[in-house]
Structure 1
Amino acid sequence: MSDAPAPDTLGAQLARFAVDVARDGVPDDVAASTRQRVLDVLGLCVASHRLETSAAIIDHVLDQGGHEQATIVGVPQRVTAAQAALVNGVLAHSLDYDDTHLPSVLHPSASVVPAALAAAEHAGADGALTVRAIAVGLEVAVRLGMAGYDQELGNSVFFEHGQHATSITGAMGSAVAASIIYGADEKGVLDALGLTASMASGIIEANRTGGTVKRLHCGLAAQAGVTAAQLARRGFTGPPTVLEGRFGFFEAWLHGRFFPEAVTDGLGKEWAVPGIFFKPYPANHFTHTSIDAGLALRARGIRAEDVASITIGAPTAVIRTIGAPLETKRAPQTGYQAQFSGPYAVVAGLLGGGGLGVGLDDFTDELAQEPRRRALMAIVDVVPDERCDAIYPHQFPAVVTLTTTSGDVLVEEVFTNRGGPQRPLSDEELACKFRDNVAGRISPDVADSVRRDVLGLDGATDVATLMARLTHFQSTPATPTEEESA
């Protein structure tokens, strides 16, 4: 049997792409975007230490023991690379503040970045290879996600089947990133994909009826990717037709309805990475344009006492997440539930907050139940809007109509998401988000050092120096988060 992968399979083409990039590098804009995503993920990992589920996953991993190979953010004790990838992936995704690719509605960085950093620390890889590996892993995750995006349906087939595409394709991207860092050739990358396909998973029922399991998804994906890359190095092999085969990835997950051109068209020439949306607000991405509308109404001088009613016009497909059942969305019991509430989002924007307009401290259990906010949420409706339907899922638009107590009608139309290519966050805004995420846990001087390290990652001899800056916190402010229930 030849050691070279079959050249015509989808997996072989991805493997060849990955190895070529590891050798030749990535375009400057891709590298710059990748470094910013590393900074974003590390800030989220720090911020997520406020959650009870974060303490639980850290305790679980530390209880397992193992060789000291890589760093968990915020933990002095090092653990195995796969364990570090697991914990940091959980931390990165737990606040619903990580980046999003549209229209696939994937959150690729929360699995790929933790997997690559853990593998790089374990392998002693330099920063340049780490950046290339992350970029490739993100690209693979997005392309596999887009292979499941049905343009006629206007939605991801993964989601239609109740599957969490983020963790499923994120595991595959993580495997490619880790394989490159461990020095795999084309066959090694393809084998890692073949192994990971039997480990990738995730269902999204928790989005509908509650539970904390979704916070595990990106961690499990990162762990699977690192583990698969390590097993492939030790001789485990996967099928060369792992993606398109009769019993392969796309048949298993999408029942054979997939779009292979999304995997291969422009591969190596056209990059999706720079177009992945950064999140400016720590809430479900569907709510962001409602927050923007609330902020705009606030800027127009509207006060809480001026409001008689508010109607959010939204894409029909998102209402089941942010507007139904309406009675529940008008009265979130917890800060986590508020992150998935359209009424809370527009009210939070109207009242104003921290960060880039609305920040982490605006989603607490106390604020979710605050009488003034409850009174405003009680007069918010969420309805389908045809103009929004025509744009979704390439953006998550909102048309917000506010009627004042004096009878005036004000309308804010927000058709593009802040943080995407049409309304990008500036370097300073991304730095502001990072500083907000780490405030109170690492000093401003350390935060600035981390940011400099990340933005100069291409020239670093290793990633261990960067990760070591994030092992000790000044303090751990107590903002516990509840069990999530819809």
Structure 2
Amino acid sequence: MPVLSSDLVEHFADFVAETSYAKTPPDAVEAAKKSILDTFGVILAASGTEPAVHGLVEVVQESAGRPESSILAFGGMAPAIMAAFANGAMAHCLDYDDQTPWGQHSSSSIVPAAFAVAERIGGVTGEEMIAAVAAGQDIFARLRCNVGWKKDWNLSPVIGVFAAVAAAGHLLHLSREEMINAFGIATMQSSGLMELVAGTGGNVRGMYAGFSAKGAVLAVLLAQKGVTGVPTVFEGQYGFFNTYFDGRYDREAILEGLGKEFKGSGTLYKLWPTVGTAHSHIHATIELLNENNLLLDDVREIRLYVGDYHDLMCRPLGERRAPATLVDAKFSLPFLVAVAAVHRGVQVSHFTEEALKDPRVLAVAQKIVPVDDASLDWKLELPPGRVELEMTDGRKFHKVGTGVPGNPEAPLDWNVITQKFKDCAAASVTGLTADQLATAERIARNLETVPDAVELVRALAPRD
């Protein structure tokens, strides 16, 4: 590794250039394989349930170009840059993709970029794909938990583009210098305002991973062609950390164990297709109702104790109780809790244009009141939400949302992730057979034995 005084970009470039499947710890291998299957499943579900992606896919299809990489679910091929754009957009738009223990989403940027490049160049083994995805997840996690995020930039695409560059650059076998250049070029694609996340009325928020996946593929291809960056891109006076985080980052922690400890091994997988920061309130509400055999008709008010980030999902309250778009629905805490209360769970099928008008859900949402609680503000780890039910007879029930399915204390195993994949595939815009799904599962679970990682894409290709 270079001396400590060198910019972090050099450390990252060394890591990506030197890493391999053999150097990837077993838990990081498993996380990468789970993330690949999980991401493919979410893409399939998005293709058939989020209308907004159709316009984006049509733009990609109309753009034409060399048929290098597959547009998943819809079929057809496009240049790798544009295929990554389409697949990345679908990978996050249901807010069902994986996340770090501290929030934010890596794989929806990494996996579409990596597979787009793999199809373009051909001959990428399963071992190489695993190492690439694991490297990207590691860089994402190191940046996520060691920067002073002010909740102004949309952190997932801002750092996701670098994670995707790591994965795609590894597959292209970029040299150390080319990787430095690719990271530098990627700063031109590192963006996203929190207003598009916290605001209401639009649907581009759900598709942000398409932009970071596309930017990553563009960056590595340009670097491969000789386009150069600067060697101080992260820590220079006007570099990434000073520009985005006012220079607040923990350099030592970012570098600690780099190349040996893969922080992506802690990746978490969602049981419910909603923003992860709502899951503790959802879980607490479901458990309160079930454990106490409560009827919603007997509930007078549902109080959600919220910190600063929870509160973003509650304002303006009227719009959050009755969201106008499917994307807004997945980021509207009162609506999400109402869905969970009515159905005692949350599924992809609960987010359709018709479901937004469900009178049962809307009636319960009117009973939901957010209560400010500064102790629940998001620092690094988001504290679990707290829920209080007040009944019409005056009784009150309280619960803190701990033990959430998919969180570190209750992680999802392969069996649950596989069932989630099948459930997602059932919502795909094009039908898939049981044989196709079984083949895809087998490939993902045993990816290290597969001579060509793109077999997974081929297994899920639409059949005439």
1:46 and 2:27 matched:
no
Counterpart selection for 2:246 from 255, 269, 278:
255
SS at match of 1:365: coil
- Name the TM-score, length of structure 2 as normaliser: 0.92
- Report the CA distance shift for 1:387/1:258 in structure 2 as closer, same or farther (over 3 A): closer
In 2, distance between residues paired with 1:5 and 1:268? 15
In 2, distance between residues paired with 1:40 and 1:462? 19
CA deviations on 1:181-237 (whole Å, 9 max, x unpaired) are 011122221111111112221112122333222233211111111111111111112
Q: How far did residue 337 of structure 1 move? A: 2.6
List gaps (5 residues or longer) in structure 2. Answer: none
In 1, distance between residues paired with 2:416 and 2:323? 29
In 2, distance between residues paired with 1:339 and 1:10? 36
SS at match of 2:188: coil
Spell out the pairing of 1:118-157 with structure 2 (5 A cutoff): 118-124=116-122, 125-148=124-147, 150=148, 156-157=149-150
- Name the TM-score, length of structure 1 as normaliser: 0.88
In 2, distance between residues paired with 1:338 and 1:446? 31
Spell out the pairing of 1:156-305 with structure 2 (5 A cutoff): 156-157=149-150, 159=151, 162-210=152-200, 211-300=202-291, 301-305=293-297
Give the equivalent residue in structure 2 for 1:382: 370
Q: Determine if contact 2:284/2:401 at 8 Å carries over to the other structure.
A: yes
Q: How far did residue 171 of structure 1 move? A: 0.8
Q: How far did residue 6 of structure 1 move? A: 9.9
1:76 and 2:64 matched:
no
1:360 and 2:348 matched:
yes
1:404 and 2:402 matched:
no
Give the equivalent residue in structure 2 for 1:311: 303
Q: How far did residue 23 of structure 1 move? A: 6.5
SS at match of 1:169: helix
Q: Determine if contact 1:333/1:369 at 8 Å carries over to the other structure.
A: no
User: Which amino acid counterpart does residue 134 of structure 1 have in structure 2?
Assistant: V
CA deviations on 1:68-113 (whole Å, 9 max, x unpaired) are 211110133211111111111001011111122243x321110011
- Report the CA distance shift for 1:186/1:227 in structure 2 as closer, same or farther (over 3 A): same
- Tell me how many residue pairs correspond in the alignment: 456
Q: Which stretch of structure 1 is more off in the superposition, 275-284 or 206-215?
A: 206-215
1:86 and 2:71 matched:
no
Q: How far did residue 392 of structure 1 move? A: 5.5
Q: Determine if contact 1:142/1:169 at 8 Å carries over to the other structure.
A: no
In 2, distance between residues paired with 1:371 and 1:295? 19
In 2, distance between residues paired with 1:373 and 1:313? 20
Give the equivalent residue in structure 1 for 2:100: 101
1:468 and 2:455 matched:
no
1:457 and 2:440 matched:
no
Q: How far did residue 169 of structure 1 move? A: 0.9
CA deviations on 1:17-55 (whole Å, 9 max, x unpaired) are 112212743011100011000011100110111222211
Q: How far did residue 284 of structure 1 move? A: 1.6
Cα RMSD (Å): 2.1
Q: Determine if contact 1:281/1:358 at 8 Å carries over to the other structure.
A: yes
SS at match of 2:95: coil
In 2, distance between residues paired with 1:164 and 1:321? 13
CA deviations on 1:300-340 (whole Å, 9 max, x unpaired) are 221222212111112x2123322222222223234433222
Q: Determine if contact 2:47/2:74 at 8 Å carries over to the other structure.
A: no
SS at match of 1:412: strand
SS at match of 2:268: coil
Runs of at least 4 residues off by over 4 Å: 4-7
Give the equivalent residue in structure 2 for 1:480: none
Give the equivalent residue in structure 2 for 1:479: none
Q: How far did residue 129 of structure 1 move? A: 0.5
- Report the CA distance shift for 1:118/1:38 in structure 2 as closer, same or farther (over 3 A): same
In 1, distance between residues paired with 2:432 and 2:143? 37
Give the equivalent residue in structure 2 for 1:432: 419
Q: How far did residue 408 of structure 1 move? A: 2.1
Identity over aligned pairs, percent: 28
Q: How far did residue 296 of structure 1 move? A: 0.9
Q: Determine if contact 2:334/2:365 at 8 Å carries over to the other structure.
A: yes
Q: Determine if contact 1:94/1:215 at 8 Å carries over to the other structure.
A: yes
- Report the CA distance shift for 1:399/1:262 in structure 2 as closer, same or farther (over 3 A): same
Q: Determine if contact 1:11/1:241 at 8 Å carries over to the other structure.
A: yes
Give the equivalent residue in structure 2 for 1:16: 14
User: Which amino acid counterpart does residue 343 of structure 2 have in structure 1?
Assistant: G
In 2, distance between residues paired with 1:64 and 1:280? 36
CA deviations on 1:325-356 (whole Å, 9 max, x unpaired) are 22222232344332222222222222225xxx
In 1, distance between residues paired with 2:52 and 2:320? 23
User: Which amino acid counterpart does residue 277 of structure 1 have in structure 2?
Assistant: L
Q: How far did residue 261 of structure 1 move? A: 2.3
User: Which amino acid counterpart does residue 87 of structure 1 have in structure 2?
Assistant: A
Give the equivalent residue in structure 2 for 1:153: none
Give the equivalent residue in structure 2 for 1:117: 115
SS at match of 1:311: strand
Q: Determine if contact 1:396/1:417 at 8 Å carries over to the other structure.
A: no
Give the equivalent residue in structure 2 for 1:477: none
Q: How far did residue 387 of structure 1 move? A: 4.9
In 1, distance between residues paired with 2:190 and 2:100? 19
Q: How far did residue 258 of structure 1 move? A: 2.7
